[in-house]
């Protein structure tokens, strides 16, 4: 099988929404397996599944009650084994989501822990006495409300950085770390090729109040009203992350991607990325969410990317993502042309890009009526309202877009006739064709996966341009951030390999090139 360093891209499957094989309206493992050929045809090299473990589904599976079981909603352990087997036959790697920070409150550890103060599992979680009859610190939860829940029976509070149904594990307890490492080993032994590590920023904290955010104008006790310098990113976070990645490193060619959001309030964001790149570069790296939190500004982009690539250790791999199940979809945020341009940039940058299901079709958020919503996170929590980006995958123009024969757990949304995989497959102007072409190019040329990034000054403030090179090949990418055509000075001569604009007629350049509004193009230098 392809080594991780040659994986073209990771594809994120949100299992509830990908393909339903049994008509209950919720996607499942057998459904995913039936669509692995589609993913192999698309040209990705790995599939990451958002959590499929046993779970009461208070946070759509990010609240796990048993890390070694598959939730019946998604199928059986046998279905998981068949999925891994079929994926490997097709040359696709499989990544599980790993949720270290918290379990479900239904997990047997938590049930035991809350049963009495001196239960041996008590210390698996974070318990504190009340402070002046109230919460032990002023921390707020990313899911909304306070981060502490009072437990009447034992007279103490427990901590939950997310929902009260997701109590934080106590990572400072070495027994917890051992348990979690053993769960990683359990799945690695089953043949899983890697993990996406969920929300690891709160696994270490300093138990003091967070200061108020002086720049926040909203309601108090909303997530943004504090500077979160104590409730997360604590002094042991990197060490615990490093230990997780060491488990992965003890197996042959496995990989771990950390869900990591840099925090402007913690200072230099590139230094924050660097600390994670440096942990264990051969086997682990952070998502780079820069491109979905970015300002739409060519110069800013160029400067940040130059700094990011300059900070990489040997073997360091940025995992660029344009979206995920927690963020508004890129085509909604930026519109089709800009989403296409960013896809070209994402898939020509060295590292391992990650595609969120449906991004390859240009899927958009769907604002469903309140009665159809499922996300239990509240808006004020900083992360709420995530259903619009989780609507079912569109396979064809049939009933429920071919996703289910039952009633889909979330509505399908509009525009299915044009926006479905079947319709886009043979349409040379479609998003899907662009993604397939880009992934094909990435598979063909190692330089896009493992090359060296360098800035290119094209003397136009509206254009971000870069070169990726491996010494023998030099590829130049130019991204026009303006809604007007731009002339750019290009280095030497080149042949165009691909453009994000299906109407582009350019096929080469000699010293300069003209880019259409929001066009991104990749050229091979030939001089």
Residue of 11, 14, 18, 62 that binds ligand GLC (CB under 6 A): 62
DSSP E strands, 249-377: 255-258, 284-288, 319-320, 354-356
Q: Is-catalytic flag, 259?
A: yes
Judged by beta carbon, residue 324 or residue 430, the one nearer ligand GLC is 324
Q: Is-catalytic flag, 359?
A: no
Residue 515: helix, strand or coil by DSSP?
strand
Please identify which of the residues 149, 200, 259, 501 carries the catalytic annotation: 259
Q: How far is the CB of 20 from ligand GLC (least distance, A)?
A: 20
Query: Strand 148-151 to strand 156-159: parallel, antiparallel, or no bridges (unpaired)?
Result: antiparallel
The full 3-state SS of 320-356, as one line of letters, equals EECCCCCCCCHHHHHCHHHHHHHHHHHCCCCCCCEEE
Instruction: Compute the distance between CA of residue 218 and CA of residue 144 in angstroms, rounded to an integer.
Output: 14
Judged by beta carbon, residue 137 or residue 376, the one nearer ligand GLC is 376
Judged by beta carbon, residue 16 or residue 449, the one nearer ligand GLC is 16
Phi-psi category of 401—alpha, beta or left, where left has phi over 0 and alpha has psi -120 to 50? left
Residue 249: helix, strand or coil by DSSP?
helix
Buried b / exposed e over 272-298, threshold 16 CB at 10 Å, is bbbebbebbbbbbbbbbbbbbeeeeeb
Which DSSP symbol is given to 226? B
Q: How far is the CB of 199 from ligand GLC (least distance, A)?
A: 4
Judged by beta carbon, residue 193 or residue 259, the one nearer ligand GLC is 259
Residues from 359 through 378 that contact ligand GLC (CB under 6 A): none
Residue of 24, 198, 372, 455 that binds ligand GLC (CB under 6 A): 198
Tokens of 3: 């080594």
Tokens of 376: 């239990």
The owner of tokens 């009203």 is 225
Task: Please choose, from the candidates 393, 404, 400, 446, the residue with its C-alpha nearest in 3D space to the C-alpha of residue 12.
Answer: 393
Judged by beta carbon, residue 257 or residue 393, the one nearer ligand GLC is 257
Q: Which helix (H) or strand (E) holds 235?
A: none
Please identify which of the residues 81, 179, 198, 243 carries the catalytic annotation: 198
DSSP string, 56-70: --TTTTSS-SEEEEE
Residues from 32 through 61 that contact ligand GLC (CB under 6 A): 59
Q: How far is the CB of 434 from ligand GLC (least distance, A)?
A: 26
Q: Applying CB under 6 A, does 223 fall inside the site for ligand GLC?
A: no
Instruction: Compute the distance between CA of residue 297 and CA of residue 302 in angstroms, rounded to an integer.
Output: 9
Q: Applying CB under 6 A, does 263 fall inside the site for ligand GLC?
A: no
Buried b / exposed e over 361-381, threshold 16 CB at 10 Å, is bbbbbbebeeeeeebbbbebb
Q: How far is the CB of 203 from ligand GLC (least distance, A)?
A: 12
Q: How far is the CB of 105 from ligand GLC (least distance, A)?
A: 13
Residue 231: helix, strand or coil by DSSP?
coil
Longest CA span, the chain: 76
Total number of residues that touch ligand GLC (CB under 6 A) = 9
Q: What phi, psi does 103 have (nearest 5°)?
A: -110, -175
Q: How far is the CB of 172 from ligand GLC (least distance, A)?
A: 19
Judged by beta carbon, residue 198 or residue 209, the one nearer ligand GLC is 198
Tokens of 166: 């997701």
Judged by beta carbon, residue 210 or residue 326, the one nearer ligand GLC is 326
Judged by beta carbon, residue 274 or residue 325, the one nearer ligand GLC is 325
Task: Please choose, from the candidates 260, 336, 264, 334, the residue with its C-alpha nearest in 3D space to the C-alpha of residue 297.
Answer: 334
Q: Applying CB under 6 A, does 325 fall inside the site for ligand GLC?
A: yes
Residue of 79, 210, 326, 467 that binds ligand GLC (CB under 6 A): 326
Q: How far is the CB of 259 from ligand GLC (least distance, A)?
A: 6
Q: Applying CB under 6 A, does 458 fall inside the site for ligand GLC?
A: no
Residues from 91 through 130 that contact ligand GLC (CB under 6 A): 99
Residues from 156 through 185 that contact ligand GLC (CB under 6 A): 162
Q: How far is the CB of 485 from ligand GLC (least distance, A)?
A: 39
Judged by beta carbon, residue 107 or residue 325, the one nearer ligand GLC is 325
Residues from 388 through 447 that contact ligand GLC (CB under 6 A): none
DSSP string, 84-142: HHHHHHTT-EEEEEE--SB--TTSHHHHHHHH-TT-TTGGGB-EE--BTTB-SS--B-T
Q: How far is the CB of 143 from ligand GLC (least distance, A)?
A: 7
Q: Is the dihedral of CA 279, 44, 196, 389 positive or negative?
A: positive
Q: Is the dihedral of CA 302, 306, 242, 245 positive or negative?
A: positive
Q: How far is the CB of 387 from ligand GLC (least distance, A)?
A: 12
Residue of 19, 70, 199, 321 that binds ligand GLC (CB under 6 A): 199
Judged by beta carbon, residue 21 or residue 103, the one nearer ligand GLC is 103
- Residue ranges binding ligand GLC (CB under 6 A): 59, 62, 99, 162, 198-199, 259, 325-326
Give the catalytic positions in this structure: 198, 259
């Amino acid at each position: 099988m392809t080594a991780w360093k040659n994986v073209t891209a990771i594809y994120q499957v949100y299992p509830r929404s990908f393909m339903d094989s049994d008509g209950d309206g919720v996607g499942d493992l057998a459904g995913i397996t039936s669509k692995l050929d589609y993913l192999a045809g698309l040209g990705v090299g790995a599939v990451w599944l958002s959590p499929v473990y046993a779970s009461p589904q208070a946070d759509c599976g990010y609240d796990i009650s048993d890390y070694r079981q598959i939730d019946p909603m998604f199928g059986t352990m046998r279905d998981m084994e068949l999925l891994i087997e079929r994926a490997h036959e097709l040359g696709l790697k499989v990544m599980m989501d790993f949720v270290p920070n918290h379990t479900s409150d239904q997990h047997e550890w938590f049930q035991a822990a809350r049963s009495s103060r001196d239960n041996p599992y008590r210390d698996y979680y974070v318990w504190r006495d009340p402070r002046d009859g109230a919460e032990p610190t002023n921390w707020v939860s990313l899911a909304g409300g306070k981060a502490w829940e009072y437990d009447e029976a034992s007279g103490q509070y427990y901590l939950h950085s997310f929902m009260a149904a997701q109590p934080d594990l106590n990572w400072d307890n070495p027994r917890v770390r051992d348990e979690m490492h053993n769960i990683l080993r359990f799945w690695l032994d089953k043949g899983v090729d890697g993990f996406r590590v969920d929300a690891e920023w709160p696994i270490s904290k300093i138990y003091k109040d967070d200061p108020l955010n002086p720049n926040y104008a909203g309601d108090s006790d909303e997530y943004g009203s504090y500077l979160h310098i104590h409730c997360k990113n604590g002094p042991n976070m990197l060490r615990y992350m490093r230990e997780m990645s060491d488990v992965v490193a003890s197996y042959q060619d496995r990989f771990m991607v950390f869900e990591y959001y840099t925090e402007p309030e913690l200072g230099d964001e590139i230094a924050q990325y660097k600390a994670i790149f440096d942990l264990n570069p051969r086997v682990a790296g952070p998502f780079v969410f820069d491109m979905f939190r970015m300002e739409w500004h060519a110069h800013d982009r160029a400067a940040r990317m130059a700094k990011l690539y300059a900070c990489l250790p040997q073997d360091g791999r940025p995992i660029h993502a344009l979206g995920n199940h927690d963020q508004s979809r890129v085509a909604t945020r930026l519109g089709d042309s800009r989403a296409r341009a960013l896809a070209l940039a994402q898939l020509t940058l060295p590292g391992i890009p990650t595609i969120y299901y449906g991004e390859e079709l240009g899927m958009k958020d769907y604002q469903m009526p309140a009665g159809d919503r499922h996300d239990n996170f509240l808006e004020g929590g900083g992360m709420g309202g995530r259903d619009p980006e989780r609507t079912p995958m569109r396979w064809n123009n049939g009933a429920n877009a071919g996703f289910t024969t039952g009633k889909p757990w979330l509505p399908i949304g509009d525009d299915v006739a044009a926006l479905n995989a079947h319709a886009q497959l043979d349409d040379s102007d479609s998003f899907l064709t662009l993604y397939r072409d880009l992934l094909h190019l990435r598979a063909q040329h190692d330089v896009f996966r493992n090359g060296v990034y360098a800035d290119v000054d094209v003397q136009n403030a509206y254009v971000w341009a870069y070169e990726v090179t491996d010494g023998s090949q030099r590829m130049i990418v130019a991204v026009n951030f303006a809604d007007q055509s731009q002339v750019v000075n290009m280095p030497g001569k080149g042949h165009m390999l691909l453009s994000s604009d299906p109407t582009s007629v350019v096929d080469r350049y000699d010293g300069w090139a003209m880019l259409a509004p929001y066009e991104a193009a990749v050229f091979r230098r030939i001089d």
